[in-house]
A = this chain, B = another copy of it.
């Protein structure tokens, strides 16, 4: 980072903290001011919440703001908007669209959600079948999306639809920002095997979207979707937890609390501890080398490694608990969860089963590592050049 840029960032942060003292400024007002000063997404151009700098400047800004007593809770409250939606708008939206959406997104006054996955399009997102048909200055949407976080709280949804079923699958899609409060949008909780509903199903029944809400060209939906997914990977990665934290920390705690001393279970615990630590050190190494621009381990090994590890560790923790591992203290209440933190062991065992599915199944991650990183050849594709309507779908 050049010294000038650093100085400019520091000065603006100091200015913000001075003008809007965090302890006496309402959060929304503070975040609005932060946006206006270009301290929301430092790499955005000026006027879009940024300063035309680099992503890593934002890390510094966030650290200094936190030290200065400011809240960055908006980033969690509107995770999908701030981490992914902003990137999509920055890359693909018109000036008017940015103007309309970015600021209330950053202040978390308007929550965003993502509408990609469908019952028939999981790993194969590009196979989606939610239809949007043009009707004058509007589009009429019908279909179903699943695994939508925050949909029940969201004002806006990032929606990919099929607009040309006769084009090959990657070409006939169009991307919209849909008003989640519009008529014909039905959000229902999607209960998981834990008994909780972190996610939703969203049904579109003749929902009308103004053409003004379209992002990029008609037929360019896949390109925009890829931008979204790229930002998702950036958002999911990063941030190094301390040693022996997370579920391996929980397992160690259970080991100690139960006073267990079976050497066989101890060796299993140490095995998991070692694997978890190796994965954690790899994240650290990847982060350092990536930010120094030096080739290093592929970040995407992390998602795969943690999916495996979380599943193994939480299952092992039940073994450590013995008969207590057959209990489910929270019960199956079929509710929306009130927190997203670490779960007690038996709920953690259930919840982590999805770690190898959500955000890209482990099978897809292995394909990616094999093909994009190691350069192994792809499978023969039977769906790629066919018109979407002709692709076999069971």
Interface residues of A (CB under 8 A from B): 262-264, 267, 379-380, 382
In Å, the complex CA distance between A264 and B267 comes to: 7
Query: Which residues does chain B contribute within 8 Å of A380, judged by CB atoms?
Result: 379-380, 382
Distance in angstroms from A265 CB to nearest chain B CB is 9
Query: Which residues does chain B contribute within 8 Å of A382, judged by CB atoms?
Result: 380
Q: How many copies of this kind of chain does the complex include?
A: 2
6 chain-A/chain-B pairs, Cβ below 8 angstroms: A263-B263, A263-B264, A264-B264, A264-B267, A379-B380, A380-B380
Distance in angstroms from A261 CB to nearest chain B CB is 11
Distance in angstroms from A393 CB to nearest chain B CB is 14
Query: Which residues does chain B contribute within 8 Å of A379, judged by CB atoms?
Result: 380
In Å, the complex CA distance between A382 and B267 comes to: 47
In Å, the complex CA distance between A262 and B263 comes to: 9
Distance in angstroms from A221 CB to nearest chain B CB is 27
Query: Which residues does chain B contribute within 8 Å of A263, judged by CB atoms?
Result: 262-264
Interface centre among A263, A264, A380 (most CB of B within 10 A): A264
**Which 7 A-B pairs have CB atoms at the shortest separation, nearest pair first?**
A264-B267, A263-B263, A380-B380, A264-B264, A263-B264, A380-B382, A262-B263
New A-B contacts (5) at CB < 8 Å, excluding given A264-B267, A380-B380: A263-B263, A263-B264, A264-B264, A379-B380, A380-B382
Query: Which residues does chain B contribute within 8 Å of A267, judged by CB atoms?
Result: 264
Q: From A271, which residue of chain B is reached at the shortest CB distance?
A: B264
In Å, the complex CA distance between A382 and B263 comes to: 52
Query: Which residues does chain B contribute within 8 Å of A264, judged by CB atoms?
Result: 263-264, 267
Distance in angstroms from A47 CB to nearest chain B CB is 50
In Å, the complex CA distance between A153 and B340 comes to: 70
Distance in angstroms from A216 CB to nearest chain B CB is 33
In Å, the complex CA distance between A264 and B271 comes to: 12
Q: From A263, which residue of chain B is reached at the shortest CB distance?
A: B263
Q: From A382, which residue of chain B is reached at the shortest CB distance?
A: B380
Distance in angstroms from A65 CB to nearest chain B CB is 49
Q: From A381, which residue of chain B is reached at the shortest CB distance?
A: B380
Q: From A262, which residue of chain B is reached at the shortest CB distance?
A: B263
In Å, the complex CA distance between A277 and B263 comes to: 25
Distance in angstroms from A375 CB to nearest chain B CB is 15
Distance in angstroms from A201 CB to nearest chain B CB is 29
In Å, the complex CA distance between A267 and B263 comes to: 10
In Å, the complex CA distance between A380 and B263 comes to: 49
Distance in angstroms from A326 CB to nearest chain B CB is 22
Distance in angstroms from A283 CB to nearest chain B CB is 29
Query: Which residues does chain B contribute within 8 Å of A262, judged by CB atoms?
Result: 263
In Å, the complex CA distance between A262 and B380 comes to: 50
In Å, the complex CA distance between A382 and B380 comes to: 8
Distance in angstroms from A392 CB to nearest chain B CB is 11
In Å, the complex CA distance between A177 and B43 comes to: 74
